[in-house]
A and B are shown apart, each in its own frame.
Chain A
Amino acid sequence: LLALSLTAAAASTVAAGCAHEPSCLEDGARCEEIDICEGVLFSCGSGDGAAAVEIGTVAELGVDLDGAEGAGADVVMRNALVTVVIDQLGEPRDLAPSGGTIIDFGPRGGADNVVQIYQLTGILPDDAFEYTRCDTRAAAGRVSVTCRGHLDDRPRVDVATVYELRACEPGVRVRTELLNRSPDAHAWFVGDAAHWGDRNVAPFAPVAGQGFDTPELELGELQDSWGAYPYVLARGVNGDGAQYGFVPCDRRELEGVNDTQVSALGTPRQLVRDGERVVLERFIATRRGAGLAAIVATVLPLRAQLHGDPPAVAITGRVTVGGAGFGGDQRRAMVVVSDGDRPIAEAVPGADGSFALIAPPGADLRYEVRSFGRVAASGSAGAVTDLGDIEVPAPGTSTISVVDDTGTPIYATVHLHPVDDGTAVGAAGSFYDRFGECTPWLGPPGGPSPACNRVLVTPQGVTIELPAGSYLAYATAGPDWTMAETEIGLPEGGSDNVELALARLDVAPPGWLSADLHVHGRASFDSSIPDLDRVLSFAAAGINVVAATDHDQVATYEAAIAAAMIGDRVAVMPGVELTPLIPWLDVQGEDIPRVVGHFNFWPMPYDASLPRGGAPWDEKLEPGELFDIVGPLIGEDGVRMLNHPMSDTIFGRHQGYLKAIALDPRAPIPPTDDGTNQGMLARSPRGGARNVDFDVVEVYNGASGGELVIHRLAWHALLDNGYVRTGASNSDSHSLSDAEIGMSRSLVHTGGTLADFDAAAFNRALKAGDVVAGSGIVVLVTVGSPVGERRGLGFDPFIPEPGDTVDIEVRAPPWIPVTEVRAVTSRGAVVIASGDDLVQPPDPYGTAGVVRWTGRLRVTDLVSPSVDDWLIIEAGIPLLDIADLDDDGVPDTTDNNGDGIIDDADVEEDEDTGPIAVPAPADAGDPRWTMSRVMTDPWPIGWTNPILVDWAGNGWGAPGVGGVR
């Protein structure tokens, strides 16, 4: 028996050595023998260049895709139908540590809706493919890029991926191999992660109960979302032209998850043991078109070739209004076809309302037509494939303009809200139940105007279609203007002209520039608002200065500013929001490592020839390291901002650094790195900048207004400990609908105007603390002798003389409520004015009552003379009530069940604490009602930056936590 076994082993070894399979793991001709996706055949059309296929660098060939990021030495492959860009080695991006991934992909001359497609075996840092070498190859009728390497930090796990583009093919053939040469068995799946970005692309899974309604992805519950798919489709949410399809070649199904954040598709989850190899071949197609019809027509024949699927059937129909064809835009009509409860295809009808798509044969065909996001018609056709005419309600048409008090048209934003319950129900819509519901749904919330329930209005006016009904239209041009309201009543097919008039208010005084230092546009992976609409939104909100802070990408908006001809209204400082994604930072008391959160930097040099426009890679770096790396790029006057410092996790990643390190604001921050979590702030990871060496703290973030309380708490804790940083307010807007530009802003006192804007001077004033900020309320303060010299804000210590006073003026547009004024020091907040002390504007839509309160108080009445302290003046309504249920020093839960008590009953299921949620105003009796017509989750507040009171004139000393050194 032993002889038998040994003989068998020897024979099999010899056999294995002689007849080994071709592989691409090692360089050589054997890789080229492999016919990836064998059996797939596309025929070439006629015409010049139809059979062309080429490969080169971006520098050589350029990239003809809208929204492409490829630059310099990135590799372009293209034929007559598609363009694909593989990023160069040594340029990590997102979770991919090396380059060698697809960063641009789309139909020639069309849109690139792919953030990135990269290979992985899981979601842990070591599960990413790290390519160490990429080779290009050109042969007759085909070109390819072959990248080889290993798993990140697992050098004994070899990986290789071949991207092959052949002439006349509408996509790339991709083969990935993985060989585990390590002794350990691993639980992996080998596949692609297609990073969609959450607002750009919707995946479509043709399985029961899904279609576009794929389960929301929870990283900790990945198993629950896991599924097997014959193919997976995806399309741009904004109907801007790129669709994608993933088809397995070497197996019948792809397994994985689909979400608007990411699709991860590949092999089944399996144990990959010592010496095991896994291979995956797939075809990734792309087509142009608003709906999925074109990509379905590509994918189904592919499956028939590869897997013998039965021939698809043609389904036709026409969407009509009053018997006339109605379509040409997904706002007007989108059609999804199902076989029973399994969605199988989708189309956006053409301008004549007709649609034609192919779909897998089904005996129980059903259709659903959405018009303005709501289900406008549905039915069952059984086995009949001509659905005939499908009638939907006619929309109304409204032409909207906004003028100032001289009758001159201006830039503004108009928000629509339903007046009655019938409109509220009948006009509520969404993109196939994804990306949130809007009433009315005028377009995808993350897309161009009109988006969700709002529309940008330029001086030329705008005409929109909307579901018939009664609406209140609210116009806003930011806190320096009044708000206007008017009613729109539109029957089906009706039309009207609406003009809303706004008046400029004296809210922001001369010499102060209105700034938003945290905005996102098309360059961000999670934003799809066109650049033109992005910059128009600045003009429509009265923002003077913008820091362009796209995720991991330097952008300038320069072309859009020029195209919109608003260079005299908005100054843009190119910047970046470094957004690490890989959890790696060990924090005491926590099992799972963390990312360090988000930081903004500006001004950044923009270089289109560099990856990410010149932004550095930011993974696995402490803040101090980021500051050291970015410092030379932004220069001495550049700004480093700690964004939303206490924000919780999204997709398992911490958004704020202070939350990531579990800052306890009740405890002192050690002056040196003592090994504690708090001590990390004083750490200088590279011997240069410390982790605490940011210049600005984002205290109000428009995308998470409810977190104001905890960001403010953290900022004050830094001040207590002597880390004096500017507190800013920004929108963090990613679209027209998520965080309204202008409603959370910082006013920086430069003493000049936009016409003489100087970025360096602006940034110096910002870093010096000569700033007031908030959500539309402006608090102006001077300190000094009541009869002599006075000074304003700034971090130069203020040395009071006896009798010195603090003079305060609170301004706000009449539509923003102010019910109290507070003086805040390390010892807490004291209300210094409230109730009848303040002016209450008689009409929220009027011009009267901008100045809400003026007061003069002695410095000694506000700051205890016993110890140096900082002094901030705030105004607004009382802070949102949040309790600290887990007693970690950071409030975490609001009264989410509305019973007046914050307790465990308010906590989200399966969570220990939270969430923090701003209650929506129930009716017009709520002081926030008017403001909430044009702002999501508003919380009225304005604050000054701190005045550092140095009683003895011997240098300002930090008061310590709670005023206790």
Chain B
Amino acid sequence: VRALVAAAVVLASTATARAQAVAPCDDAALLAPADVGIRDTGFDAPAPACARRGVYVTGRGHALVDTADFYGTLAASSWIGARWVLPGSNSDHEFELGARVVDLRFTQTAVITVTETTIGPIYAGVSLFPTRIGDDHAYRLRLRAELDYTNTAYDGLAAGALAENAFTTRISSTLAWHNRLALLAFRTSPVDGPQFRTAAAASTDLGQSLSRNWSLAYGLEAQTGWYGYGATALDHLLARAAARVRLAGRHDLALTIAIPLAGEERTNAVVALGWLIER
């Protein structure tokens, strides 16, 4: 963690001179935070305050090996989605529609193995109050919700939702700083009415372009509430990073990893490979 923070500080402090005529959301896709979530359906993944557009396909691997409890899960999932933008007066409105296409999950305890394949959920997102503040800053409130009855992993109702305040600061032409405060909710209705789980997360990320076609992103996130608000208050402190390359025709390829470093979260790592076609 220390090394990661140090690297971020160094990068920030050594950034080149202030951007010249660069809007906070230029190259938003390339300078976005490492957008991978820890939760199975990925609804907790962060986003910049800047609108993005295009279609994406993402494959994700998830590993949890808890030797002490004789428990392990390996999962492979894929997402497909689209974002489109309605221009606004001060900033753009982003809409998103996507689905986790398939989730293949292998779980093993000391004596039992289970392999399950599920489909869904479908989700939708929208940015509210997108605002450009001055020359360097952007803000938006983003909502994203999964649709009930679209996740075959559950017999009944199940949906995750995210409300996220995202701030993006353009530090330089090659560096964007993303901060966010997010509220997560998950609801099922197994019996006798709904059950809720909530959490609050705060994160900070840097997106740095290395060249016209290459960029890196790295960040830290802390979350509380998912595993309780008492003695187990820290869900996770995680580090995440992404490497992106812009291919011909505004095709972006991104390799992203998130690793919980502390807290109740037992996930060892999440790795995603995404392909974004920006329009």
Q: Are B110 and A123 in contact (CB under 8 A)?
A: yes
A604 vs B227: C-alpha distance in the bound complex, in angstroms? 46
Nearest-Cβ distance from residue B71 to partner chain A, whole angstroms: 8
B78 to chain A, nearest CB (A): 18
Question: With contacts A2-B143, A273-B153, A275-B195 known, is A222 near B187, CB below 8 A?
Answer: no
Q: A5-B145, A12-B148, A275-B158 are in contact. Are A187 and B109 (CB under 8 A)?
A: yes
B residues whose Cβ falls under 8 Å from a Cβ of A: 40, 67, 69-71, 73, 95, 97, 105, 107-114, 116, 123-126, 143, 145-149, 153-159, 161, 186-195, 197, 226-227, 266
Q: Which residues of A contact B110 (CB under 8 A)?
A: 122-124, 219-220, 592
CA distance A362 to B195 in the complex (A): 49
B-binding segment of A14-22, A237-245, A724-732: A14-22
Q: A760 vs B107: C-alpha distance in the bound complex, in angstroms?
A: 56
In the complex, the answer to whether B112 meets A5 with C-beta atoms within 8 Å is no
* Contact A123:B191 (CB < 8 A) given known A2-B145, A183-B227: no
Once the chains bind, are A222 and B147 in contact (CB under 8 Å)? no
Q: Could you mark each residue 1-44 of chain A with 1 if its beta carbon is under 8 Å from any beta carbon of chain B, else 0?
A: 11011101100110011001101011000100000000000000
- What are 9 A-B residue pairs whose CB atoms fall within 8 Å in the complex? A1-B126, A8-B147, A13-B157, A23-B192, A183-B227, A185-B107, A189-B112, A270-B116, A276-B190
Q: Are A16 and B189 in contact (CB under 8 A)?
A: yes
- Measured between beta carbons, the chain B residues less than 8 angstroms from A9 are 145, 147-148, 159, 161, 187
> Does A223 sit at the interface, judged by CB under 8 A?
yes
- Asked if residues B188 and A271 are in contact (CB atoms below 8 Å), the reply is no
Report the number of A-B residue pairs with Cβ-Cβ less than 8 Å.
133
Alpha-carbon distance A269/B71, docked complex (angstroms): 14
Residue of B nearest to A273 (CB): B153
Is the CB of A392 closer than 8 A to any CB of chain B?
no
CA distance A811 to B13 in the complex (A): 92
| Cα distance, A8 to B149, chains bound together (Å) | 10
Per the bound structure, the CA–CA distance linking A269 and B191 in Å amounts to 21
Residue of B nearest to A25 (CB): B191
Would you call B124 and A16 a contact (CB within 8 A)? no
**Cα(A25)–Cα(B192), bound, Å:** 9
Enumerate A257-299 residues with CB–CB distance to B below 8 Å: 269-271, 273-277
Q: Is the CB of A13 within 8 A of B194?
A: yes
Across the interface, which residues of A come within 8 angstroms of B108, CB to CB? Answer: 187
Task: Report yes or no: B195 in contact with A181, Cβ–Cβ below 8 A.
Answer: yes
Residue ranges of A at the interface with B (Cβ–Cβ < 8 Å): 1-2, 4-6, 8-9, 12-13, 16-17, 20-21, 23, 25-26, 30, 122-124, 126, 177, 179, 181, 183-189, 219-220, 222-223, 269-271, 273-277, 591-592
Whole-angstrom distance between the alpha carbons of A183 and B266 in the complex? 11
Q: How far is the CA of A4 from the CA of B146 in the complex (A)?
A: 11
Is the Cβ of A21 less than 8 Å from the Cβ of B187?
A: no
Rounded to whole Å, the gap between the CB of A587 and the closest CB of chain B is 14
Q: In the bound complex, do residue B126 and residue A2 qualify as a contact, i.e. CB atoms below 8 Å apart?
A: yes
- Report the minimal beta-carbon distance from A910 to chain B, rounded to whole angstroms: 16
Known: A20-B191, A183-B226, A219-B110; 14 extra A-B contacts, CB below 8 A, are A8-B147, A9-B159, A16-B193, A20-B193, A21-B192, A124-B109, A183-B227, A187-B109, A220-B110, A222-B112, A223-B112, A269-B114, A271-B114, A276-B154
Residue in chain A with minimal CB distance to B105: A271
B277 CB, nearest partner CB in chain A, Å: 20
A264 → chain B closest CB, angstroms: 10
Task: Contact check, A16 vs B147: say whether CB atoms are below 8 A apart.
Answer: no
For the complex, what is the distance from the CA of A222 to the CA of B107, rounded to whole Å?
15
For residue A891, give the distance in angstroms from its CB to the closest CB of chain B. 29
* B112 close to A275 (CB less than 8 A): no
Given A8-B147, A222-B112, A271-B107, also A1-B189 (CB < 8 A): no
A269 and B149 form a contact (CB under 8 A): no
Which residues of chain B are within 8 angstroms of A189 by Cβ–Cβ distance? 112
Return chain A residues, CB-CB under 8 Å to B109. 122, 124, 187
Give B148's nearest chain A residue, CB to CB: A12
Bound Cα distance from A875 to B40, whole angstroms? 67
* With A5-B123, A271-B107 as contacts: A179 and B190 at CB distance below 8 Å: yes
Given contacts A16-B194, A185-B73, A222-B111, A274 and B124 within 8 Å (CB-CB): no
A124 to B40, CA, bound (A): 25
- Residues of chain B with a CB closer than 8 A to A186's CB: 71, 107
A220 to B143 alpha-carbon distance, docked (Å): 46
Complex Cα gap A188–B109 (Å): 9
Instruction: Find the residue from A8, A220, A591 having the highest chain B CB count within 10 A.
Output: A8
Alpha-carbon distance A266/B5, docked complex (angstroms): 50
Please name all residues of chain B whose beta carbon is closer than 8 Å to the beta carbon of A270 when the two chains form the complex: 114, 116
